[in-house]
Structure 1
């Protein structure tokens, strides 16, 4: 554990981070520097130069009953994870368990695998679509008839919508208000990002227009052969009339296929809609730990009460 060095800003690691520690686009220096500016939450970077491994943690007050309806109990926690709402882990350190056992206080590990010996619960799962299709039509034709009919109907309703890519710097208040609509209606409110995040975060932004009026947007990240749906927003007042949200998902499927991505990570919310376009669940786990063994035993008893309850209906979207 003595090999871990701690830094309070990513700038201190500017010349070595991407070469030694970056594992994907989300964990790049550019991404983390942007988050320090646009979502500051006392980020720290613990690195082992001998093994090229890292742990990112940050500190916020979190409602531990976030997934349990009206209950609200905010608690200051050190969280090991990426400092915004993505399904990626915030560490690459194989000895994470040993490291945590040697640190004091509460620790919450988010989006982890099912392999740590700590009190465990579910967090929001990610919805992933494998793109084993030659074309968008091949994708549609691979579906069972009832699902294919629903999506074709949605495409017809969204026919008048025009989609175009914009420069991130052009992200304006109207687009930001669409993001805020989705954020305010979300049951799983996490961080609220600033407009500057969308203007500067390394990503691609596509806007959906109806008669020159912007009605939606999606923010995408190219992560090797994986496409990541980061954030979006849409006009909920006309969503049913034009099936805007479903057309957003279908645009991303088409974009992913045409740009030769192998999979799309659609993120961790609105599971029902995403599963109905063919996504599969990728379970994610959260762990709590405290250096006091008695507290840990209590945590193991109560963690099911604030664990996320996954969507339970199975959808057989594709033909056998």
Structure 2
């Protein structure tokens, strides 16, 4: 590797170099503003660091890392009492308390780093690995030994770059696919999209819209988000607590902070029934793409009004109307996202345990604690 390459680790967005955003322009999730949001309202069990890669004095790479202390959150939702959850709690407490992620655990997809054309991907990964080793030593000096290190969310094609000497001790693992809607250029309006659906799925669309006729959807301002913050947090937790596994919970002021800092790049839509907030969804504008973010709803109205399905249709309609090239639905709820036209993109990561014996079996352990989800891919179009 070229000896002119070096790295610098930053502990806050405020300390990043002035020219950071010249490279981050390709991805809002590595921009100073978004990283500022993480500094001000990241989950309580998360410590974020940012790494600049340099060639001589020129910045040629941007990286985000997140250190998660899993024992500080109730990770297993409403299934806490089951034996498997108790076993996972024991394992996490004793062998996986501190996890260092290269990437963003709050998003799906390759949001870990950007390299300029002045550094090859292989050189970038090599110097990044050295930076991660240095960062782990820094955490250890502060009494936080890193048990697991993971590079997350890469496509199969992107993962080929990791086949370097320094990554041989890392096991590759697969996660749920990233559900991405890419047919947006085919239609000019939401009606065109509905026309393209087969009769079965067009009927699903009409039924969902009929169910939600009394629900009023509107984009909420910073003031409205702040005013409704307790209810928003309640709706968010209502959805999150039912997930089989959680590594963090959003800070209560996270959405307001995002709106305050990102402005019109962060869209917050409230769903109201009789002027009462019953659900919300959020979108972040990332160049020509849209990333769906977190959402919330109460269970009664989700069922009666088919809120979740209507939210998916609303996001598709918005994407078409505003002519975005791609709508990233992320993982979870794979089948219903497939039923509206999203396609799965297989994602993999790389994982390493600090204990050599455990590391030999880390791939099998990961599959045990995070088993593959069985689902049926749908094709809703004619």
TM-score, length basis structure 1: 0.89
Q: 1:7 aligns with which of 7, 10, 21?
A: 10
Alignment partners' CA distance in 2, 1:226 and 1:290:
35
Deviation at 1:182, TM superposition (A): 0.8
Structure-1 residue corresponding to 2:174: 122
Matches within 5 A, 1:277-292: 277-290=340-353
Which residues of structure 1 form unaligned runs of 5+?
Answer: none
What SS is found at the alignment partner of 1:287? strand
* Contact 2:30–2:111, Cα closer than 8 Å, also in 1: no
What SS is found at the alignment partner of 1:193? coil
* Contact 1:101–1:291, Cα closer than 8 Å, also in 2: no
Residue by residue, what CA displacement relative to the aligned partner does 1:136-175 show, whole Å, maximum 9, x if unpaired?
A: 1111111121111111111111111111111134212122
Alignment partners' CA distance in 2, 1:160 and 1:44:
45
Which residues of structure 2 form unaligned runs of 5+?
Answer: 77-82, 116-120, 137-145, 164-169
Residue by residue, what CA displacement relative to the aligned partner does 1:32-90 show, whole Å, maximum 9, x if unpaired?
A: 11111211622222211336212221211348x97x96341211221111252443421
Query: Within the alignment, does 1:58 sit opposite 2:63 as a pair?
Result: no
Structure-2 residue corresponding to 1:87: 109
Q: Evaluate the alpha carbon distance shift between residue 97 and residue 17 of structure 1 in structure 2; reply closer, same or farther with a 3 A threshold.
A: closer
Structure-2 residue corresponding to 1:144: 198
Alignment partners' CA distance in 1, 2:283 and 2:368:
34
The structure richer in helix per residue is 2
Which piece of structure 1 moves more, 113-122 or 261-270?
113-122
Q: 1:305 aligns with which of 358, 361, 368?
A: 368
* Contact 1:86–1:230, Cα closer than 8 Å, also in 2: no
Query: Within the alignment, does 1:42 sit opposite 2:8 as a pair?
Result: no
Alignment partners' CA distance in 2, 1:301 and 1:196:
38
Structure-2 residue corresponding to 1:134: 188
What SS is found at the alignment partner of 1:189? coil
Which piece of structure 1 moves more, 87-96 or 201-210?
87-96
* Contact 2:288–2:325, Cα closer than 8 Å, also in 1: yes
Q: Evaluate the alpha carbon distance shift between residue 14 and residue 86 of structure 1 in structure 2; reply closer, same or farther with a 3 A threshold.
A: farther
Residue by residue, what CA displacement relative to the aligned partner does 1:178-202 show, whole Å, maximum 9, x if unpaired?
A: 1111111222323211221110112
Query: Within the alignment, does 1:98 sit opposite 2:132 as a pair?
Result: no
Residue by residue, what CA displacement relative to the aligned partner does 1:1-35 show, whole Å, maximum 9, x if unpaired?
A: 75111112221115222113443122211111111
Query: Within the alignment, does 1:251 sit opposite 2:309 as a pair?
Result: no
* Contact 1:135–1:257, Cα closer than 8 Å, also in 2: yes
